[in-house]
Amino acid sequence: MFDESLLDSPEALARADAQGQLRAAAEAGAHVRTAARHAEESALSELRPEGRPRAVLVAGSGPATVCTADLLGAFTNGALSVTLLRSYGPLAAPGALRWTLPGWAGPLDLLIVCTTDGSEPGLTALIEQAYRRGCTVVSVSPASAAVAELTGETHGLAVPLHLGPAAVWEPPYVPASRAGAEERNGQLAQQPVALSASPAVLWSLLTPLLVLFDRLGLFPADSSSLQSLADRLDHVAERCGPAIATYTNPAKTLATELTGTLPLLWSEGAVAEAVAQRCAGAFAALPGLPVLTAALPGALSAHSTLLSGSLAASSDPEDFFRDRVEEPETLRARVLFVREQTEYEHSAAVAVRELAYAHEVPLSELEPSDSSSPAAAAAELIATLDFTAVYLALAASGPSWS
């Protein structure tokens, strides 16, 4: 069930938001400013590279690392290859994961290691492997962690990661086992929940790497650009905040439209595709809403059967005598079209609208207010969808976390 009336009651939202999810989403701009300040105070400010690397390899656990790699690749616009090193291992726990350099990696390449922990043996082993291959290594991790220490010992650049006290977006603890949780000292046995889906983690990891890529001459990310990025995030927080009514609040409006649907998240452009993947992860982690993503124009054919099948609105003719109390609503598809800029000459926007209209599938569209820079556009889209995920979680009845 989705309590739409809760969205227009700031007091009710505050009571429901016991874990401070709205505050965490609103503080994204502050985390960019904090990370930028610390980056300028680190060795990044003195970095004078002699040239560009042949390729950039990114390693680390969690969705924030994946999104960081996707965004860096999109921002470079093909200037060089940015590759995410996929992890492997018997468990999803960071300590059980391992990474391996591709066979071609060598002295011309740059390895970036991102971690909020820094004690993962798989990442330290990867840094040692990169040192033997002659790769340049840059790590973003807690200052006293093993990853940072080993990076310095192998003549790499260790950038301290600074996460503020409000970095926790998810609840700090969950029951270790729903079925057989045992009491310990009068409380349920509990285990920590990873922070990697938090907006604080994403922007704290990404910001110093934007500074690094600016030093490498790959795209502009000087102090004024980062300030503009933080201002854009603050602007989204003002537009999407809990005190703003639904009809003028993009995040609340989108949350209402997506309720009871299976979102088909179509993206146009490399930045929008990275945003879509981030959105799918946030929707799964917070409201527990599955999202199918596809990039345009391929999405028009890849999801065409979904639009004409049982998920389409036209497949369920309205039965006047249907019991609307006893029978649950049928899940229907809704297209969420995300693009990083306004329509251009070869945009698939017209085809998207025509296809949705032909199959009577509702359509939501999301684009940045302006496309002054790829980073600013990504920030606006990500922040809006982060707020949407929070509103979907808070307005849904029952447990929102699993």
DSSP annotation of 193: P
Confidence at residue 326, expressed as pLDDT on a 0 to 100 scale:
57
Cis ω on the peptide bond leading into residue 297 (within 30° of 0)?
Answer: yes
> With contact defined as beta carbons under 8 Å apart, do 108 and 54 qualify?
yes
pLDDT higher than threshold 90 for residue 146: yes
Residue 390, H or E segment? helix 374-395
DSSP notation for 297-360: TTHHHHTHHHHHSTTSGGGS---TT--TTTSPPPPEEEEEEEESSS--TT-SHHHHHHHHHHTT
Dump pLDDT digits (tens) for 29-54.
999 999 999 998 888 877 878 789 99
302 Cβ neighbours under 8 A, 6+ residues apart = 294
For 95-99, what is the mean pLDDT? 95
What is the CA 349 to chain-centroid distance, rounded? 24
Confidence at residue 314, expressed as pLDDT on a 0 to 100 scale:
61
pLDDT higher than threshold 80 for residue 117: yes
Dump pLDDT digits (tens) for 361-387.
999 999 998 877 899 999 999 999 999
Dist CA 31 CA 24 (whole Å): 10
Q: How high does pLDDT run on average in the chain? A: 86
Alpha helices in 180-323 (DSSP H): 199-215, 223-240, 250-258, 270-285, 299-302, 304-308
14 Cβ neighbours under 8 A, 6+ residues apart = 242
For 162-190, what is the mean pLDDT? 40
